Amino acid sequence: LSGQTTGTVTINPTTDATVEADETVIITIDAGTGYTVGTPSSATGTITNDETPAATIAVSPTSVLEDGATNLVYTVTLDKAPASDITINLTTTGTATTLTDYTGAAASVTILSGQTTGTVTINPTTDATVEADETVIITIDAGTGYTVGTPSSATGTILGGVFDPPMGIKTYNDDGLPEMEFRMVWINSSNTASVNTQVIDNIPDGTTYVSGSLTCVTRGSSATASAATSPLNTIISNSSCAFDGSNNRIQWQGSIGPDSGNLTEQTAANEVVITFRVRVQDAVDQIFNSGSARVDSDNDNDFLDEVPASQSTSNQVSWTRSLSQVDELPSTGFAPGSISELPNQPENKLYSATDMWIEIPRLGVKLPIVGVPMVDKAWDVSWLSQQAGWLNGTAFPGWVGNSVLTSHVTLPNGTPGPFTSLGKLKWGDKVILHSYGSVYTFEVRENRIVAPNDRSVLKHEEESWITLLTCKTYNEKTGVYSGRISVRAVLLKVELEKSPASSNSRH
């Protein structure tokens, strides 16, 4: 303006979300009328980019098998694409050890100009050691050109094959009585690596070991150790497959090869088969036998730093001489709608308490289990009330064999008993046994009506079965039941009890 010496041009930067390099605005004076171009004739202003991207991290998948083909892939993501390459600083921690348990750890990852992601791949290292699950944690550290967003760290897990101990399958053969043979098949069904194992099997009460009858056969990659180590007896001959007379038990030590997912001798390739014979004393009518396995989970050849020997729930059998001599099955019902007087329960027929109870979800039944003794070749369940009676001499509930449980269809007071609706059970219904801290889930395979004294309900099984018995169809003229309901269920799985159930819930 006239009389003025200055004029201004204002540049207003436009805000956006784009991460860009710093940019310049240059204004130059051009020639014109009434003035000359002086020095400086131009001026440069800089628009400084203030859009800093935030970096976050995630891992996919979140867990992988140690010996699997899949890796842990950690992806660092910027919320805005940078105008130039950005290096994101990283720290790797966790319970896994780099170069021992995995490779691929990096101190940083570079995200290229115009991109928003960069990856770090962790490749687990396969080894023969059975280990606990281990973690790999990658954390974003502070650096230049980015801020640390949320989440700033990601945790991946290497599944090292935390194992269930090898499972044992036990059977017996009593064709040669008074001698009988026990046979154990040990299968490493839950692991992908061989497991150093010690097996012990106590000679059952009422029997004596038959000298020289022990055999230990290993198949596939399994192998018997050259000698036993503590806590087994190490001073006896051929200690890795031997009868330990001082402790009256069988012992074996060796490596059991992996048979992941295989649960039978027919499908397994690396099973260990142990057989031995015992002589049954003449006065003994019932035998219980179970073996156990102790594992060297860290493969350091030291069994003493392990937890106590873990019991294989499938490696148990019971044998009864008397079942073939049973005169009659127990009566499991009284006259409906009337009161039946009961005599006092004789001492030799008293029921034994157990830490077991049974539930049948479809029927809403929850009952404590008591042991019913066999007296004079018969069972008397007259004094059962809101209970299930395990017929002693049948398999111990949950063990290999046929466990027979009874309860009344009608109680002595004429009202419906716990098993009044037993006939409603169908194929696939669950029968759940709670026993000494474990939960055994059975599934119904058969519901049939049999004659009152049909002894086929007592037949032995090579797997774990439960047979539920009660009476059916009361005949008012004869005062007896004309039939019997027999429900048979096979064991599907065994789990640890998650929380102790109160006794009030069992009635």
Q: Residue 88, SS3?
A: strand
* Least confident interval from 54-58, 135-139, 456-460: 456-460
In a domain, 205, yes or no: yes
Q: Tell me the pLDDT tens digit for each residue of 86-103.
A: 999 999 999 999 888 899
Indicate whether 90 and 171 sit together in one domain: no
Say what the pLDDT of residue 160 is.
67
In a domain, 123, yes or no: yes
SS3 of 378-447: the string is EECCCCCCCCEEEEECECCCCCEEEEEEECCCECCCCCECCCCCHHHCCCCCEEEEEECCEEEEEEEEEE
Tokens of 299: 């493969």
Q: How many domains in the chain?
A: 3
pLDDT class of 235 with cuts at 50, 70, 90: very high
Contact 172, 180 (CB under 8 A): yes
Say what the pLDDT of residue 506 is.
46
Average model confidence (pLDDT) across the chain: 87
Q: Tell me the pLDDT tens digit for each residue of 398-449.
A: 888 899 999 999 999 999 999 999 999 999 999 999 988 889 999 999 999 9
Q: Evaluate if residue 14 carries a pLDDT over 70.
A: yes
Indicate whether 378 and 497 sit together in one domain: yes
Q: Evaluate if residue 337 carries a pLDDT over 60.
A: yes
Q: Tell me the pLDDT tens digit for each residue of 146-181.
A: 999 999 999 998 876 545 678 888 888 887 888 999
Angstrom distance (rounded) from CA 130 to CA 66: 10
CA–chain centroid gap for 372, Å, is 33
How far the first Cα of the chain sits from its last, in Å, is 104
Tell me what percent of the residues of the chain surpass a pLDDT of 70: 90
Indicate whether 366 and 298 sit together in one domain: no
Q: Evaluate if residue 503 carries a pLDDT over 50.
A: no
- Pairing between strand 147-148 and 54-60? parallel
Indicate whether 297 and 188 sit together in one domain: yes
Indicate whether 278 and 336 sit together in one domain: no
Q: Tell me the pLDDT tens digit for each residue of 18-43.
A: 666 678 999 999 999 888 988 999 99
Angstrom distance (rounded) from CA 58 to CA 150: 10
Write the CATH number for 86: 2.60.40.2030
Q: Evaluate if residue 317 carries a pLDDT over 90.
A: no
In a domain, 188, yes or no: yes
Residue where a domain stops, chosen among 104, 138, 159? 159
C-alpha count within 13 angstroms, C-beta hemisphere, residue 24: 6
Indicate whether 333 and 250 sit together in one domain: no
Tokens of 251: 């012992």
Indicate whether 203 and 102 sit together in one domain: no
Which residue range(s) make up the domain with 120?
54-159
In a domain, 40, yes or no: no
Angstrom distance (rounded) from CA 124 to CA 67: 7
In a domain, 414, yes or no: yes
In a domain, 5, yes or no: no
In a domain, 8, yes or no: no
Indicate whether 69 and 217 sit together in one domain: no
Indicate whether 126 and 241 sit together in one domain: no
- Residue 147: CB partners within 8 Å, gap ≥ 6? 52, 53, 54, 55
Which ranges constitute the DSSP H helices of 164-284? none
Angstrom distance (rounded) from CA 334 to CA 409: 8
Burial (0-12, 13-18, 19+ Cβ within 10 Å), 50? exposed
Indicate whether 308 and 339 sit together in one domain: no
Residue where a domain stops, chosen among 159, 182, 213? 159
Say what the pLDDT of residue 501 is.
46
Q: Tell me the pLDDT tens digit for each residue of 274-307.
A: 999 999 987 777 788 888 888 887 667 778 776 5
Write the CATH number for 353: 2.40.260.10
In a domain, 484, yes or no: yes
Indicate whether 488 and 412 sit together in one domain: yes
pLDDT class of 479 with cuts at 50, 70, 90: confident
Residue where a domain stops, chosen among 286, 320, 354? 320
Write the CATH number for 255: 2.60.40.740
Indicate whether 142 and 268 sit together in one domain: no
Place of tokens 């059916």: 472
Q: Residue 274, SS3?
A: strand
